[in-house]
Amino acid sequence: MSAPVLLVLGAGPGIGLSVAKAFAAKGYKVATAARSLQDGVDEDGFLRIQVDLAQTTEVEKVFTKVTETLGIPHVVVYNAAYRIPRDAQDPLSSISLEDVKSEFAINTIAPLFAAQEAVKGFKQLPSSASRTFIQTGNALNTIVLPSVLTFGMTKSAAAHMIRSASVGYKSKGFKFYYADERQPDGGPTIPVNGPAAGKAYVELAENPEQGPWDYTFIDGKGYAEFK
């Protein structure tokens, strides 16, 4: 059998690269896509694709290129994020339509269409394949931070998409996760620990069953439920 394929969208030098290396260590062929990358193959042997995820029409092109070059992605990680800080004491001021469009495009709409493309591929893969979609999330679907009001709106919407997909595709064996690293006290981890994310995402991909869709995890411990 050919090696499974991982696609990381939003593959920066932190979380994205750590996740890519964690899966490569498990024998995956890896494709990374980000605006900062140049098309080609890097020193790790990863297929690199330049993409601006604010242009959501580019998502399908990435999947097409990965499928033609490496094969259908077995695991898709959406790691891109765009945040515009707000005045915590006056969060509704200075909000422009263009800013909101950009945040929603990268944080909500692009992952929606990435999940759609992932499912197209999952339907063609055997049941033994991982068929896992993971979005790097944060605590903003459960907590309020006025300083990132619109960013929180986009992440909450994305979390709802992941939850809906985890229910809708469970019978088909497709897995969906909103992965959120936390501190032991339940507080957010800023920034997310790249190697910890890589370890957690590999474990999610290797688990044949759908686990908690809102996968809150602690470095060194794994999944932890927070109220």
- The CATH number that applies at residue 173 is 3.40.50.720
Domain that holds residue 182: 5-223
| 120 catalytically annotated | no
DSSP annotation string for 175-204: EEEEEEEB-TTS-B-SS--HHHHHHHHHHH
Across the beta sheet with 29-34, the strand order is 40-41, 47-50, 29-34, 5-9, 75-78, 132-136, 175-181, 214-218, 222-223
User: If you search the block for the tokens 């890896």, which residue do you land on?
Assistant: 30
Torsion of CA 56, 58, 61, 62, to 10 degrees: -90
Task: Give the chain's length.
Answer: 227
Q: How far apart are CA 202 and CA 77, in angstroms?
A: 11
Per-residue pLDDT of the chain (227 residues; tens, 9 = 90+): 589 999 999 998 889 999 999 999 999 999 999 999 999 999 889 999 999 999 988 999 999 999 999 999 999 999 999 999 999 999 999 899 999 999 999 999 999 999 999 999 999 999 999 999 999 999 999 999 999 999 999 999 999 999 999 999 999 999 999 999 999 999 999 989 999 999 999 999 999 999 999 999 999 999 999 87
Whether this prediction's pTM lies above 0.85 is answered by yes
Write down the catalytic residue from 29, 155, 175, 199: 155
